[in-house]
Amino acid sequence: VVETCRKHGISEPTYYKWKSQFAGMTVSHLSQLRQLQEENAKLKRMYADLALMHHALKDVVERKL
């Protein structure tokens, strides 16, 4: 384990964390997890953009009043 971690540039605690988190998962489960994480990141960016636009429009409306 030490040699493999050194070879790939990760720490041993990271290895064991990943092992406990992903142990028993099949390749299809891992690819589905990755797709869901990518979709979640996309939705978070969309929400951040909409929230920023909402605050900007709110400021414009308040200034007109």
What is the rounded average pLDDT of the residues 48-57?
Answer: 97
Taking the C-alpha atoms of residue 61 and residue 56, their distance in angstroms, rounded to an integer, is: 9
Label residue 51 by pLDDT band (50, 70, 90).
very high
17 is in which domain, residue-wise?
Answer: 2-64
pLDDT at 27: 93
The domain total for the chain is 1
CB 5 within 8 A of CB 11: yes
Mean pLDDT of the chain: 95
pTM of the model: 0.65
Judge whether residue 64 has pLDDT over 90. Answer: no
Instruction: State the burial class of residue 53 (Cβ atoms within 10 Å of its Cβ: 0-12, 13-18, 19+).
Output: exposed
For 53, the token pair is 């636009």
SS3 percent helix, strand, coil of the chain, rounded to 5, is: 85, 0, 15
